[in-house]
Amino acid sequence: MDYIKIRFGNAIEDLECRFEQTLEEMFCAVNPVFKLSDRTWNPSMDMYETPEEIMIVAEIAGVDKEELEVEINAKAVRISGNRKEVPRVRNSTYRLAEIRYGGFERILFLPSLVDPEVVSASYMNGLLQIRLAKIRTDKTHKIHIED
């Protein structure tokens, strides 16, 4: 399967954002205390579907199950949580700092309507899996026309 990356937005804003992100990454490499913002991190996610359901898998290693929140309506799923920073060893110096800590939030718009009452979720080995039952839209309804 081929994947196509689509990016929307203003090119100048994107350039400014990338510049700010590059600066932050440079300073964080020296010492993670240097942060330009309390930017949240975005966990990687997969979404795929069958004729009956939509599945979402989120890679959120290090997040306690109690720190996760999932909200669902017929059109979208909101996944949020918090990854707490691992305590450092005293008198240690960072040589590499790539793991993001803090809060995150992702809102995924679904390709089909789902029934928010028919959902299951599991969390194992750092992966959150959500299964959503699709609402059948192939039914037709005959409507009586009044005089």
* Top-level class of domain 40-87+94-134: mainly beta
Alpha carbon separation from 9 to 6, 42, 56, 59, 146 (Å, rounded):
10, 18, 25, 26, 49
Where in the chain are the domains? Answer: 7-38, 40-87+94-134
**What does the pLDDT read at residue 57?**
97
Q: Residue 60: is its pLDDT beyond 70?
A: yes
Say whether pLDDT at 109 is over 60: yes
Q: Which residues pair with 23 in a beta bridge?
A: none
> pLDDT band for position 23 (50/70/90)?
low
